[in-house]
Amino acid sequence: MTRTTSSHRPAALLEQARKLCEPTLRDTIFAMPEPLDRMAAYHFGWRDPSGNPTQAGWGKGLRAGLVLAAAAACGADPRAALPGAAAVELVHNFSLVHDDIMDGDRLRRGRATAWAVWGVPAALCLGDTLHAEAIRILVGALPAVPAVDAVTRLEDAAAQLCRGQCEDCSFETRPAVTVDQYVAMAAGKTAALIGCACALGASCAAADAATIDAFGTFGHELGIAFQVTDDILGIWGDPDRTGKPVGNDVIRRKRSFPVVAALESATAAGAELAQLYRSADPITPAQAAHAAKLIADAGGRRRAQQFADRRVAAALAALPDSAGTADLVALTNFIAHRRL
């Protein structure tokens, strides 16, 4: 996490974060008992289901990048925050494994999900083990007092994440969901862990309490913007980039931000969308494409983008006034302008 101008390119920052974190993640995963080690290595893209090496990759490493960039912004060597970065990535992946089960998603990053390969019970055990290994890393790598703080922050975030995910699942059967209820859900499901990542980076850099809180606030606001942007991608994103089928969120009648905003719009398009979402019949791909147009016509896409932009501005405003935060600004802009 150097601070030269060239390093501010998000792709370079994330590549460096993955390179720094991957040895710790590999050591942790390959030390897990069979068959959990093989399942985890598959989920991270390092093995096929039979255990043969592959190069599918384990995602962007955004949360690890935020941990390391926050530590660097506080004047520390990013390597001091590697335990926090690896732990956050493990908790994030625990949530992905369970999220795929709850959503019934059979694809992630263009590959079959863990539960689709090994079944639900095995995938649940995999997610639980990834969570446990995250705590093991923090306790084993950090001094006692920082470790207690780090574990407390991470477990608080995990509890909020589970609360948000539970609410997100309930939205699919509720008769109505408001934008405020959606934001409260996103604050748990996504923002809690991203806020924790940024706070952990500052904590590993031995920053003072006010600075740690400022980085936590930055990450919280950024996390909400991230979720709303993810919702936009879930409806209008390129499947070659998202790794999921076109219209997947609409076919599942997911109450994402653009959908909730459209349903609240009191427009003809919003009323037609509500009728489609209330129907007991499955939504076909053709209907999902029409629904995406209805959501846009009702202002859902525009309102979602405007909301995400406001949360990005709030995130940047929370950062301490320091030249060392340039990497975080670059990552923020990457999140705000992810391509469809």
Q: What percentage of the chain has pLDDT greater than the value 70?
A: 96
| Higher local confidence (pLDDT), 122 or 324 | 122
Kindly state the tokens that stand for 113.
């999900």
Q: How does DSSP assign 168-226, residue by residue? A: HHHHTTSS---HHHHHHHHIIIIIHHHHHHHHHHHHHTT--HHHHHHHHHHHHHHHHHH
The count of other CB atoms within 10 Å of the CB of residue 79 is 14
Q: Tokens 């993810």 identify what position?
A: 230
Q: Specify the pTM.
A: 0.93
Task: Residue 250: name the closest of 234, 226, 266, 271 by CA.
Answer: 234
- Separation CA 188–CA 195 (nearest Å): 10
207, 243 in Cβ contact below 8 A?
A: no
The lowest-confidence range among 12-21, 125-134, 329-338 is: 329-338
Q: How does DSSP assign 46-83, residue by residue? A: SB-TTS-B--------HHHHHHHHHHHHTTS-GGGGHH
- Residue 264: which residues within 8 A CB-CB, separation 6 or more? 178, 179, 270
Model confidence at 2, in pLDDT bands (50, 70, 90)? very low
Residues of 8-20 as b/e, b for ≥16 C-beta within 10 angstroms? bebebbbebbbeb
List pLDDT tens digits, range 120-143. Answer: 999 999 999 999 999 999 999 999
Predicted pLDDT at 8: 54
E-state strands within the chain: 107-108, 111-112
Q: Give the DSSP H or E segment for 37.
A: helix 36-43
Tell me, what amino acid is at 55? Q
Predicted pLDDT at 242: 66
In this predicted structure, the answer to whether residue 310 has a pLDDT above a threshold of 70 is yes
273, 259 in Cβ contact below 8 A?
A: yes
In this predicted structure, the answer to whether residue 61 has a pLDDT above a threshold of 50 is yes
- Separation CA 104–CA 110 (nearest Å): 15
The count of other CB atoms within 10 Å of the CB of residue 323 is 7
Mean pLDDT of 172-181: 91
- Separation CA 116–CA 93 (nearest Å): 16
Q: How far is CA 219 from CA 25, 50, 317, in A?
A: 23, 38, 11
| Higher local confidence (pLDDT), 271 or 248 | 271
Predicted pLDDT at 157: 98
Mean pLDDT of 59-70: 95
Predicted pLDDT at 192: 98
Q: What angle, rounded to 10 degrees, do the helices at 300-318 and 285-297 form?
A: 70
- Separation CA 321–CA 61 (nearest Å): 26
Predicted pLDDT at 5: 36
- Separation CA 191–CA 315 (nearest Å): 11
Mean pLDDT of 47-65: 92
In this predicted structure, the answer to whether residue 27 has a pLDDT above a threshold of 90 is yes
Predicted pLDDT at 6: 40
In this predicted structure, the answer to whether residue 336 has a pLDDT above a threshold of 50 is yes
Mean pLDDT of 27-42: 97
Predicted pLDDT at 154: 98
Mean pLDDT of 21-45: 97
List pLDDT tens digits, range 208-261. Answer: 999 999 999 999 999 999 999 999 999 998 877 766 667 888 998 999 999 999
User: Computed from CA positions of residues 157, 163, 166, 167, in that sequence, does the dihedral angle turn out positive or negative?
Assistant: negative
Q: What is the DSSP code (8-state) at residue 105?
A: -
List pLDDT tens digits, range 72-107. Answer: 999 999 999 999 999 999 999 999 999 999 989 898
DSSP-based helix, strand, coil % in the chain, nearest 5: 75, 0, 25
Predicted pLDDT at 244: 67
Cis peptide, bond prior to residue 35, ω within 30 of zero = yes
Predicted pLDDT at 4: 37
The CATH homologous superfamily to which domain 8-336 belongs is: Farnesyl Diphosphate Synthase (1.10.600.10)
